[in-house]
Every structure is written in structure tokens, then in C-alpha cells.
Amino acid sequence: MKVIAHLLLVIVVFLLSACASTITKTDIAKIKVVGVVNNFPDSPKYTLVGTTVFNNDYDTINDTTFKSLVTNEVTTLLQNKGYQTIILSKGDAGNRIDMMIEILPRDLYNMPYTMGYGFYQRSMFGITANKISYTALNLIPVIQGSKRCSACYGESITNLPMDVMPSKWSEIGQEKQVELKNLLKADIQKAVNKAFSGIGL
């Protein structure tokens, strides 16, 4: 039993150390050009989760400006630090860069179907619990193939000013859509800033 406990401890320490690598002062001195890869979905999600999967409704907001906003927030923060930035596509080796930052969508904790960004409502037995806009992401710095992932998670959640979300995004009036989009844009900015602050640049 003691052997198993010790083995588990070794595994946990190894996993933590694998993700605890940070950017050093030596690394920073060598970084001039940063490539940015955005792996977010093209459009935000619009999701209503009910008591069972048969009560769920899904929709997509056909607006690619939100993905661009995520990229722009990251590149602006980098440029404000004095780095030159290059937008890379997924799978690009990025031979022209000193460091790469991967933008990865994540789920909110204990909230299924919230990968990345969008609008979300959770109901149980007809009672609505959550009506939110949200953004959840990791910013993963990569230097010479080594991921530096310590404290690089950011999320932002905002309660929506409406009683019930309709089943489809198109059922929301234009004025209200603009209001909700502005809330999501603010969530993107907050989440990116939180994640960026953990990179160590």
C-alpha cells in the first residue's frame, strides 16, 4: 500500500513539474518576435442546457469578429510589451519566431458545453439557474518546442440582463443582441488579460 501511495505521489509531482515550467529572464532576453495561433472556434456558442440532453438547444452566432477580437487582444498585449507579432495558422512551424503563443479554448468549471466563448443558460426542472456570457481560455507559450504553461488560464463570466434566453439567437431583438455582444467582448478582454498576466513576460 505504501509503495502505491509513493508511486502516486511521484506521478503527481512529475505532472505538476511538467506544467510548472515558466519563462525565465534568459528566455525573455531572447524573445523579439512572437507568433500567435488562435485555436478558438470561428463563432461563439449559444447554448441552453436543460434537465436532460433532450431539453438542450444549441445555436451558433454567425459572427467571426469575436475570434479576431481574441487574437487582437493577445497581439496588442504583446505589442505593448515591445514584441513584434506574427499571426500563424494552426500547424504552422513558425520558423520566423522566437516564441509561439497558442490560444486554446476551455470549458468553464462544472459547466458542460461552454468550450471557448458564447452565451449559456442552465435550467433544471424548468427553473433557470444561469444566464451568462463567458470566455474561458489558456494562453500557452511555446519556446523551442517546450510548453510553458504555468498559471496561463483566464476566464470571465457576466450575468445576462434578461429573464430567459430564447431557444435561438435569431429570436433576440437586434438592440438586445448588440448589448449582449458588448458583454461578450468585455469577457474576452478580461479573460485574455487574466491569462496573459500568468505568462511572465
CATH number at residue 44: 3.40.50
Structural domain tally of the chain?
1
Q: How many C-beta neighbours within 10 Å does residue 185 have?
A: 17
User: In which domain, by residue range, is 169 found?
Assistant: 2-197
Taking the model in full, what pTM does it have? 0.84
Helices (H) and strands (E) in the chain, counts: 4, 9
How far apart CA 122 and CA 130 sit, in angstroms, is 5
Q: Is the dihedral of CA 28, 197, 153, 76 positive or negative?
A: negative
Q: What is the pLDDT, as a whole number, of residue 94?
A: 64
pLDDT by residue, tens only, the chain of 201 residues: 444 444 443 333 333 334 446 788 888 888 999 999 999 999 999 999 977 765 788 898 999 999 999 999 999 999 999 999 999 987 776 678 999 999 999 999 888 889 999 999 988 777 778 899 999 999 999 988 788 765 699 999 999 999 889 999 999 999 999 999 999 999 999 999 999 999 888
Q: What is the pLDDT, as a whole number, of residue 24?
A: 81
Q: What is the pLDDT, as a whole number, of residue 151?
A: 64
Q: What is the pLDDT, as a whole number, of residue 21?
A: 60
Residue type, 201: L
